[in-house]
Amino acid sequence: MCRGSGNRGPVTSFVALPNRKSLQLLLEALICLLALPNRKSLQLLLEALICLLALPNRKSLQLLLEALICLLALPNRKSLQLLLEALVQKLTARWLDLGRDKPHVRTMTDKPSLDILLCAPRGFCAGVDRAIQIVDLALKKYGAPVYVRHEIVHNKFVVDGLRAKGAVFVEELEEIPEGTDAPVIFSAHGVAKSVPAEAKHRNMFFLDATCPLVTKVHVEAQRHAEDGHDIVLIGHRGHPEVIGTMGQLPPGKITLIETVADAEAFAPRDPDNLALVTQTTLSVDDTSAMVMVLKSRFPNISVPAKEDICYATTNRQEAVKAVAPKVDAMIVVGAPNSSNSMRLVEVGERAGCRVSVLVQRADDIDWDQFGDISSLGITAGASAPESLVEEVIEAFAERFTVNVEIAVTAEENIAFNIPRVLRQLEEASGH
C-alpha cells in the first residue's frame, strides 16, 4: 500500500548547526547526564551550548566540544557539571566582548527569532507516493533502464533521484529504442488513450502510474460521452493531466474552460446536454467560481457528485488558508511546473500573506524578501519530498533562532494499491 505522507512530527531547530557530528556526540552524552538530580543546571548548560554553536569562530567551538566529549567520560559527575557550567559562562562572556569590539561579528543576541508554522498536511500525496514507488520497484525487479514517459511527478529533485537509479525519462514513446524489453511507465498525470494503444502496437511492457483519482476523472468523461453528453473540462491548457483527460475521447468532444471569462463566453451546441469534469489539482476557489457561472447559465449541466479536485489538493490549500493570515511570509516548496504547488502560492497571497513565494529548494530562497520577518509559514506541494522542507528549515535556522510549530488542519490516511505485478516486491520491502 502507498500512503500519503502529509502529516509529520516536529522538526528540531538544531539541524542547521555547523558541527553536526560533534553536536550529536555531545547531545548523546548530555542525555546520559540528564539522569542526574540537578536537571535544571544541565538544561541551562545545553541551551547555552546550542546558542554558542551559532557564533562565528567555529574552530574554537569544535575544539571545545571535542574536549567536553572526552570529559563526559570522567567519573566525578558533580565536578564535571561545575566545570562545564564555568566553561560555558567564560566562553559566553568572551564572545559577547568580542561582539562589542567587532560590530561585524554576530553574537547570540544578534540572531533574530523566527516562529515557523509548518502546514500539515503538506508534501507527498498517496498518488505521488504510489507513482514513485512504481518506478523504484520496477528498477528493483527488472533492473535499469526503466523508461518513464514524462516526469513521473513534477519535481526535479525526485526525477533526478530516480534518474540516478537508472530511470530514463522521455516525452514520447518514439524516443524509446525499438524492441526493448525494458518496462515503460506512464506518469502520475495520466495519458491519452492513444499512448497505451501505441505501446501495445510496439509490443512494449508498460506499467500505468496514473493517479487513481485522475483515472476516476477519465472514467467519468467516458461515461458522460457514452450517455451522449457534451463535456466541459475545467483545467489548464497544456498540462499533462488535461492532455490525458481530453485524449480519452475523440477531438472536439471535450471543451476546455480555463477562466470565469471562458465560462461566461461558452456557447455549447446543446445547452441542456452538458456534463462537467475538472482537473484534480486546481484552485478550489477558482474552480467553484467557474462551476457557479456554468450552473447559473446551464441549470441542467451534470456535475460530479463529489469534487474532482483531489483530497490532497483541497487539504493543502485549506492548510495554507489557515496559516497564511498568521505569518509575515509564506514559502511553498515545489516546482514551477507543478500545478498544485503554484495554486498554493496563489492561495497564500489571497489569504492575505504579504510575501507568498515558491522555492524548489533552499538555494532558491531570495533572502532580501525575508530580512525583517518574525513569522514564517511553510508548506509543500503534493510532489515535493519532506527532505526539501527540512532543507528550507535548516537554511532559516542558520540565520534565525527558529521555533517550529506544526499547524494541523486535516488528517490523511488515503492508500492506493500499486500494480499487481509489483505488489509482491512491495510487500517484501515492507511498504
Contacting residues for 88 by C-beta, under 8 A, at least 6 apart: 45, 48, 49, 52
Closest CA to 307 of 286, 324, 336, 334: 286
Closest CA to 419 of 13, 130, 155: 130
Closest CA to 324 of 332, 313, 315, 312: 332
Rounded to whole angstroms, the Cα distance separating 383 from 153 reads 6
Residue type, 321: K
Residue type, 377: G
Closest CA to 249 of 292, 192, 295: 192
Closest CA to 55 of 10, 15, 5, 92: 92
In the chain, how long is the greatest CA-to-CA distance?
90
Assign residue 185 a region (left: φ > 0; alpha: ψ between -120 and 50; beta: otherwise): beta
Rounded to whole angstroms, the Cα distance separating 218 from 277 reads 9
Rounded to whole angstroms, the Cα distance separating 255 from 225 reads 12
Sign of the torsion angle spanned by Cα atoms 363, 364, 365, 367: positive
Full DSSP string of 204-249 = --EEE---HHHHHHHHHHHHHHHTT-EEEEES-TT-HHHHHHHTTS
Annotated catalytic residue: which of 241, 391, 412, 426? Answer: 241
* Annotation marks residue 391 as catalytic: no
Contact 120, 389 (CB under 8 A): no
Rounded to whole angstroms, the Cα distance separating 182 from 261 reads 46
How many residues does this entry show for the chain? 431
Rounded to whole angstroms, the Cα distance separating 173 from 157 reads 23
Q: Which active-site residues does the annotation give?
A: 241
